[in-house]
């Protein structure tokens, strides 16, 4: 457990950071809170020759509501920034609540949402709720900006569509027709446990009829996935325990979990059933919680 | 029997609270010496094999590497903690026996170089098939891990008291249940660290350990040194829980490498390496059979237990005996049979962990007895009341039990928890359960054969009387032993606690104690320092008597006194010496002590303790016999999510029959910590290995899941007012380990009450609960 040798840069602008990443190519790694990267380096999973810290990019540390665009969350916001943010608490406390269930307080003080997303582990807690809320991600590279839907960002465990010179700049949660959303994380203890299953849902319910629904699952496939059959099933249905239970059953048929030291595939599959049902109930009854 | 004491029974502040809470307390890893080198062990990367070659040449060329040693450079004498089973070498000779076994050591000018050097060392093996479970180890024709243990059988125990088969025949109800325990890890926060240097022919070793004496003894034996030439010292210790009783490879390597290099050498583990050092709880496979009469009275009990030992014996023989030796202390069982086998396997060695050998059998028995009670319609607490031992009795195995109030503990826990209103009435998904436990208060014998006292204490009063130094090599591993020892010494001396200071953690300077294990120190070192304090007091009273007479303040034969003033007419409390019949006539301890120093030189008190001959004559009686036994009852309340299997422990009560409580705050801290460990082992904790390679899979605190503060229920820790142990100083008994032993049973029984399915396989993970509920549903019951 010893950090390998590396060179360290802390550029002052996004442009400079992208420039460096472009020049250094594979040799470089971006460092945000370091709660994923440092562990990988200590465990010799990664040995970047250069570490490019983004800590000076203050413009990526804001959370704000921009009319017509939605809530913009800067990539360098920490999990605890999300937990404490008034804008989110008011509009989407489901997002702050997802952040509150992550890791432990020390890690929530350091870990950033950009890091959580770029790291792209299937069990990451933020992507499912962002996907349920149809969020997009703004990427900035040497060739300019582009916006990608959160659900299209991930291509495999640890893999995203980001190019070598690209940074995640912000996550945008668009204005919603969805009337409620919720994320349930199931870990094997109350704090400091990675999700064995994460289920995020967003629903649009009018007069007790489900107009629209999005269900996103974490830790049960190579990337966060949507349970589209469950979503289709829900659309147009009148809310009832049976309908929500059936949606759970359908969603559990849509995931492809693996067995590992934390949980078996069988268990995860059934947990998807249970938590889809429960998350839907919460979102329907309580709004964005 | 109880008196008003100045310090005993009071929650005085710990002596180390200030330095620890401000981060100033030094641990072994904080020590730095000029020219100090850093070292690490070379570890095996396969589970079982012969070492064909070790090529250190590339590493030796690396700038900054100072020495690399392997078996050929060190004595080949075997060591261990069980005299009949010395089977461990400093470094593997010829064979490696687990993935992580000790092959050698490297030291270099800094940590970074050590890590780089380790990567350059190439070990070639001839791989041998590995056995990773006791079931595989016990198979015909299984690969042999040690020549000396045919069939990989490390030890076997067969105890039979009374006539079990006859008694079972007569029983009203007989039941057999099977249980499985898991391998757990101590999870102390401070990893092992050892730093050594030499001065001429004398070596000095700082070791983060639980016994400076045993480390000194074992090292000297293997290294062929005189004990007077090896000083073992220690700083603060960040806990041990049984994992720091064996010398670690670091201790040997630090002493040898510092000799070779002529420089101080610091050897250290990271958390993963501490997991590999092992010595945690044995997984036990247990089968229990009990016969009872109509009322639930136990007529006979048969306990069959297999321990999966890992690669070496370590303390494993004691663990095996402890698995069966204490049941008869808790419950009155006239007919008892205990059959036990311990196998070696190609995994890190198992050893002692809080409650040593006992918690898993306690879990099994406490759950089993509930199932027996259920079958005959007897409430769990009634089952325990019917069978609980009473004080002043002798066990079937011949152990003498003085104070023992398990009955009182059960009743108090029952009433405090609202048992009668709750048990079986809380609805699906909620439950309450009870478990009993307890422990020895110190072992009756030293780990090796000796006629030494078990603890020696000394008090030295500073020249002018303004300080009292309390000497004992009892080890404060965080449990607060320094504090309680000073409380008892201060009480015995009649001197202010606040002005006492420990002299400890140094085999040169301080006095012998066997160390922190078997919940022994408060009783054994307590006796030693209490007696030392009493001797000081005696000297002070004699001198004060002389001074008072000379002062002319005493008019002999005048009114309140019958004859000449004698020391017996005086007492000393909190630093004031006074005439008992006229307390206004007084002197300060300080002035008396100063006068003593002027007249006689240093004011010293000495004390020692040996438990003497204790009960039990059968083979293995040494493990379980003790001057005093604690008992305890815990009640736990849980919620079980009947869909997901998630368990939440929501409330708990503990009643510990612990004799006089020397320091209530520290006592409750022990109970709280013990429950924490117990509930962790019940629901969350398990060390995992790859099933093919024996490679450690979760040597970190992300995947070895200890409960967090949020998972921990409140613990209401209660005590029995009339508990008093005649064999303990001030009437005390243990709390440190005993309070871990009822927990698994209590929590498991609560889970059973909540979900209606018996969970017999530790840890009772959410997934296992989910599976059990699903299977129950499928079977339509
Ligand atoms: C004890 C512990 C518990 C944890 N528990 C959880 C948990 O419960 N749930 C969970 O989801 N995660 C958990 N994590 C993982 C981790 O904390 C989070 O994923 C965190 O959000 C990572 O953010 P970071 O800023 O620390 O990332 P870093 O470690 O700095 O970076 C992670 C990766 O992202 C890249 N990167 C970082 N920022 C950017 C950017 N702006 N643009 C492009 N690439 C970038 C880095 O190059 C690196 O590859 C835990 C970690 C620890 C140590």
- B310-337 pLDDT, tens digit per residue, is 999 999 999 999 999 999 999 999 999 9
Q: B663 is written with which tokens?
A: 């320091």
* Res B175 pLDDT > 60: yes
* Res B524 pLDDT > 70: yes
* Res B556 pLDDT > 70: no
pTM: 0.97
Q: Which residues pair with B513 in a beta bridge?
A: B455
The mean pLDDT of B271-282, rounded to a whole number, is 97
Ligand 1 atom showing the smallest separation from residue A192 Cα: 3
> For residue A205, what are the domain limits?
180-286
Within a domain: residue A258? yes
Look up the CATH number of domain B17-23+454-609: 3.30.365.10
Q: Is the CB of A167 under 6 A from ligand 1?
A: yes
* Res B342 pLDDT > 60: yes
**Residue among A31, A58, A62, A116 whose CB has most ligand 1 atoms within 8 A, to mutate:** A116
Look up the CATH number of domain B31-130+186-277: 3.90.1170.50
- B646-662 pLDDT, tens digit per residue, is 999 999 999 999 999 99
Shared domain for A194 and A151, answered yes or no, is no
CA distance A158 to A187: 20
Q: How many CA atoms lie within 13 A of A105 on its CB side?
A: 4
Q: Which of B771, B261, B729, B245 is nearest to B534 (CA)?
A: B729
Shared domain for A42 and A66, answered yes or no, is no
Question: Residue B721 burial (CB < 10 Å; 0-12/13-18/19+)?
Answer: exposed
B-chain residue closest to A3, CA distance: B112
- B186-200 pLDDT, tens digit per residue, is 999 999 999 999 999
Question: Percent of chain B, pLDDT > 70?
Answer: 99
Q: Which of B179, B366, B177, B373 is nearest to B292 (CA)?
A: B373
The mean pLDDT of A24-30, rounded to a whole number, is 96
* Res B744 pLDDT > 90: yes
Cis preceding-peptide flag for B763 (omega within 30 of 0):
yes
The mean pLDDT of B378-386, rounded to a whole number, is 98
- 3-state SS of A151-186 is HHHEEECCEECCCCCCEEEEEEECCCCCCEEEEEEE
- A148-187 pLDDT, tens digit per residue, is 999 999 999 999 999 999 999 999 999 999 999 999 999 9
* B705 neighbourhood in chain A, CB within 8 Å: 188-189, 192-193
* A191 neighbourhood in chain B, CB within 8 Å: 708-711
Shared domain for A189 and A123, answered yes or no, is no
Here the CATH number for the domain that contains residue A34 is 3.30.43.10
- B764-780 pLDDT, tens digit per residue, is 999 999 999 999 999 98
* Res B125 pLDDT > 50: yes
Residue B133: phi and psi, rounded to 5, are: -135, 160
pLDDT band at B1 (very low <50, low <70, confident <90, very high): very low
Contact A111, A147 (CB under 8 A): no
> To the nearest whole number, what is the mean pLDDT of chain B?
96
CA distance B120 to A4: 15
Q: From the centroid of its chain, how far is CA A175? A: 18
The mean pLDDT of B684-701, rounded to a whole number, is 97
Within a domain: residue A2? no
The H-assigned helical ranges of B22-133 are 57-61, 111-120
Q: What's the start-to-end Cα distance of chain B, in Å?
A: 56
CA distance B583 to B568: 14
Inter-chain Cβ pairs, chain A and chain B, closer than 8 A: 47
How many structural domains does chain A have? 3
Same fold, B17-23+454-609 and B365-444+624-779: yes
* Pairwise CB contact (< 8 Å): A267 & B707: no
Residue with more model confidence, B83 or B34: B34
Question: Percent of chain B, pLDDT > 90?
Answer: 96
- Listing DSSP states for B224-271 in one string gives T--GGGEEEE--B----TTTTSSPPHHHHHHHHHHHHHSS-EEEE--H
Q: Which of B178, B42, B29 is nearest to B105 (CA)?
A: B42
Residues of A engaging B, defined by a Cβ cutoff of 8 Å: 1-2, 104, 186, 188-194, 261-264, 267, 270-271, 274
CA angle B395-B396-B397, nearest 5°?
A: 85
* Pairwise CB contact (< 8 Å): A104 & B708: yes
Tell me the domain boundaries of chain B. Answer: 17-23+454-609, 31-130+186-277, 365-444+624-779
CA distance B553 to B587: 11
Question: Residue A236 burial (CB < 10 Å; 0-12/13-18/19+)?
Answer: exposed
Which residues in B536-581 belong to E strands, given as ranges? Answer: 570-573, 576-579
The mean pLDDT of B430-451, rounded to a whole number, is 96
Q: Give the other-Cβ count within 10 Å of B63's Cβ.
A: 8
Q: B42 is written with which tokens?
A: 């070379």
- Listing DSSP states for A261-282 in one string gives SS--HHHHHHHHHHHHHHHHHH
Shared domain for A234 and A131, answered yes or no, is no
In chain B, which among 630-669 make CB contacts under 8 A with chain A?
643-644, 646
CA distance A82 to A15: 26
CA dihedral A237, A240, A243, A246 (to 10 degrees): 170
Report CA Rg, chain B.
Answer: 28
Q: A114 is written with which tokens?
A: 């950009």
**CATH 3.30.365.10 is held by the domain B365-444+624-779:** yes
Shared domain for A153 and A226, answered yes or no, is no
* Pairwise CB contact (< 8 Å): B765 & A190: no
CA distance B389 to B393: 8
Here the CATH number for the domain that contains residue A188 is 3.30.390.50
CA distance A238 to B289: 56
* Res B561 pLDDT > 80: no
Query: In the sheet where A197-206 sits, what is the strand order?
Result: A180-186, A197-206, A209-218, A225-226
CA distance B34 to B109: 11
Here the CATH number for the domain that contains residue A109 is 3.30.465.10
**Residue among A20, A30, A130, A224 whose CB has most ligand 1 atoms within 8 A, to mutate:** A30
Contact A135, A122 (CB under 8 A): no
Shared domain for A142 and A209, answered yes or no, is no
The mean pLDDT of B272-296, rounded to a whole number, is 98
A192/chain B closest Cα distance in angstroms: 7
Within a domain: residue A213? yes
Shared domain for A161 and A62, answered yes or no, is yes
Within a domain: residue A63? yes
The per-residue pLDDT for B560 is 53
The per-residue pLDDT for B83 is 84
The per-residue pLDDT for B559 is 45
Please report how the helices B406-417 and B380-387 are oriented relative to each other, as an axis angle in degrees rounded to 10.
160
B44 contacts: CB under 8 Å, gap ≥ 6? B92, B96, B97, B98, B99, B100, B101, B102, B103, B123, B125
What is the CA(B162)–ligand 1 centre distance, in A? 63
Ligand 1 atom showing the smallest separation from residue A39 Cα: 53
Please report how the helices A265-286 and B766-778 are oriented relative to each other, as an axis angle in degrees rounded to 10.
90
Shared domain for A160 and A207, answered yes or no, is no
Q: A97 is written with which tokens?
A: 């609540």
Shared domain for A64 and A169, answered yes or no, is yes
């Amino acid at each position: 457990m010893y950090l390998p040798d590396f060179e360290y840069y802390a550029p002052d602008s996004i442009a400079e950071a992208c420039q460096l990443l472009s020049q250094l190519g594979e040799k470089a790694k971006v460092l945000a809170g370091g709660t994923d990267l440092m562990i990988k380096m200590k465990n010799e999973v990664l040995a970047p020759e250069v570490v490019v810290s983004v800590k000076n990019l203050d413009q990526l540390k804001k959370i704000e509501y921009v009319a017509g665009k939605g809530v913009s969350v800067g990539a360098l916001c920490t999990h605890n920034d999300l937990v404490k943010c008034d804008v989110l608490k008011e509009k989407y406390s489901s997002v702050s609540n997802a952040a509150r269930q992550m890791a432990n307080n020390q890690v929530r003080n350091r870990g950033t949402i950009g890091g959580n997303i770029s790291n792209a582990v299937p069990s990451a807690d933020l992507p499912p709720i962002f996907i349920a809320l149809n969020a997009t991600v703004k990427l900035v590279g040497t060739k300019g900006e582009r916006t990608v839907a959160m659900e299209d960002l991930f291509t495999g465990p640890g893999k995203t569509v980001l190019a070598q010179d690209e940074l995640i700049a912000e996550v945008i949660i668009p204005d919603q027709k969805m009337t409620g959303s919720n994320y349930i994380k199931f870990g094997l203890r109350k704090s400091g446990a990675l999700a064995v299953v994460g289920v995020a849902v967003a629903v649009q319910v009018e007069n007790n009829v489900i107009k629209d629904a999005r269900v996103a699952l974490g830790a049960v496939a190579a990337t966060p996935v949507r349970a589209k059959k469950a979503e289709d099933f829900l659309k147009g249905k009148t809310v009832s325990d049976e309908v929500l239970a059936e949606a759970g059953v359908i969603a559990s048929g849509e995931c492809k979990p693996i067995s590992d030291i934390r949980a078996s595939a069988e268990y995860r599959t059934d947990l998807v059933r249970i938590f889809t049902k429960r998350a839907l109930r919460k979102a329907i009854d309580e709004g964005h919680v | 029997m109880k008196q008003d004491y100045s310090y005993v029974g009071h929650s005085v502040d710990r002596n180390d609270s200030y330095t620890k809470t401000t981060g100033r307390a030094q641990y072994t890893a904080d020590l730095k010496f000029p020219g100090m080198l850093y070292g690490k062990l070379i570890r095996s990367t396969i589970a079982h094999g012969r070492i064909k070659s070790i090529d250190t040449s590339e590493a030796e060329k690396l700038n900054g590497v100072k020495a690399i040693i392997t078996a050929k450079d060190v004595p080949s004498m075997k060591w261990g903690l069980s005299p009949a089973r010395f089977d461990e070498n400093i470094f593997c000779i010829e064979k490696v026996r687990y993935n992580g076994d000790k092959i050698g050591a490297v030291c270099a000018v800094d940590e970074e170089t050590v890590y780089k050097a380790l990567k350059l060392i190439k070990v070639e093996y001839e791989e041998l098939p590995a056995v990773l479970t006791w079931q595989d180890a016990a198979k015909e024709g299984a690969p042999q891990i040690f020549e000396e243990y045919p069939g990989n059988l490390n030890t076997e125990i067969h105890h039979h008291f009374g006539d079990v088969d006859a008694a079972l025949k007569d029983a009203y109800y007989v039941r057999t249940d099977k249980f499985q325990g898991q391998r757990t890890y101590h999870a102390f926060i401070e990893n092992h660290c050892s730093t050594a240097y030499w001065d001429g022919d004398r070596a000095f070793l700082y070791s983060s350990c639980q016994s400076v004496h045993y480390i000194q003894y074992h090292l000297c034996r293997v290294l062929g040194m005189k004990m007077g030439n090896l000083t073992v010292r220690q700083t603060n210790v960040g806990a041990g829980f049984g994992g720091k009783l064996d010398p670690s490879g670091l201790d040997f390597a630090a002493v040898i490498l510092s000799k070779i290099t002529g420089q101080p050498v610091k050897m250290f583990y990271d958390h993963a390496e501490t997991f590999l050092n092992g010595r945690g709880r044995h997984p036990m496979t247990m089968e229990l059979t009990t016969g009872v009469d109509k009322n639930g009275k136990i007529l006979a009990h048969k306990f069959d237990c297999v321990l999966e030992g890992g690669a070496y014996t370590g303390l494993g023989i004691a663990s095996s005996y402890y698995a069966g030796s204490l049941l008869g202390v808790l419950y009155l069982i006239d007919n008892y049979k205990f059959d036990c086998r311990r196998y070696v396997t190609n995994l890190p060695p198992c050893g002692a962990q809080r409650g040593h050998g006992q918690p898993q059998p306690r879990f099994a028995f406490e759950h089993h007895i509930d199932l027996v009670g259920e079958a005959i319609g007897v409430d769990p607490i009634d089952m325990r009341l019917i069978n609980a031992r009473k004080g002043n009795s002798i066990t079937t195995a011949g152990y003498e039990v003085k104070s023992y109030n398990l009955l009182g503990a059960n009743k108090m826990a029952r009433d405090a928890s609202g048992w009668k209103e709750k048990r079986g009435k809380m609805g699906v998904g909620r439950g309450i359960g009870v478990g009993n436990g307890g422990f020895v208060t110190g072992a009756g014998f030293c780990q090796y054969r000796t006629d030494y006292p078990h603890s020696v204490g000394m008090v030295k009063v500073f020249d002018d009387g303004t300080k009292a130094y309390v000497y004992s090599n009892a080890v404060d591993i965080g449990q607060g032993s320094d504090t309680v020892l000073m409380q008892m010494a201060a009480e015995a001396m009649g001197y202010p606690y606040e002005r006492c200071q420990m002299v400890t953690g140094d085999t040169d300077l301080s006095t012998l104690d066997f160390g922190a294990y078997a919940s022994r120190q408060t009783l054994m070192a307590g006796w030693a320092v209490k007696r030392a304090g009493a001797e000081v007091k005696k000297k002070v009273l004699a001198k004060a008597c002389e001074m008072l007479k000379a002062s002319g303040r005493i008019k002999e034969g005048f009114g309140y006194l019958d004859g000449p003033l004698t020391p017996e007419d005086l007492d000393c409390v909190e630093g004031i010496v006074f005439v008992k019949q006229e307390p206004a006539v007084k002197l300060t301890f300080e002035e008396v002590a100063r006068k003593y120093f002027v007249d006689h030189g240093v004011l010293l008190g000495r004390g020692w303790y040996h438990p003497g001959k204790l009960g039990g004559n059968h083979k293995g009686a040494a493990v379980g016999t003790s001057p005093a036994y604690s008992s305890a009852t815990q009640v736990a309340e849980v919620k079980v999510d009947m869909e997901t299997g998630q368990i939440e422990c929501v409330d708990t009560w503990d009643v510990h029959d612990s004799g006089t409580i020397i320091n209530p705050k520290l006592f409750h801290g022990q109970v709280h910590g013990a429950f924490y460990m117990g509930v962790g082992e019940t629901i969350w904790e398990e060390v995992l290995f790859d099933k093919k390679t024996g490679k450690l899979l979760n040597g970190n605190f992300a995947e070895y899941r200890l409960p967090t503060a949020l998972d921990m229920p409140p613990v209401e820790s209660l005590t029995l007012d009339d508990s008093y142990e005649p064999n303990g100083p001030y009437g005390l008994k243990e709390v440190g380990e005993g309070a871990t032993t009822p927990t698994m049973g209590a929590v498991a029984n609560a889970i059973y009450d909540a979900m209606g399915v018996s969970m017999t396989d530790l840890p009772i993970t959410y997934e296992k609960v989910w599976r059990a509920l699903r299977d129950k549903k499928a079977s339509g019951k």
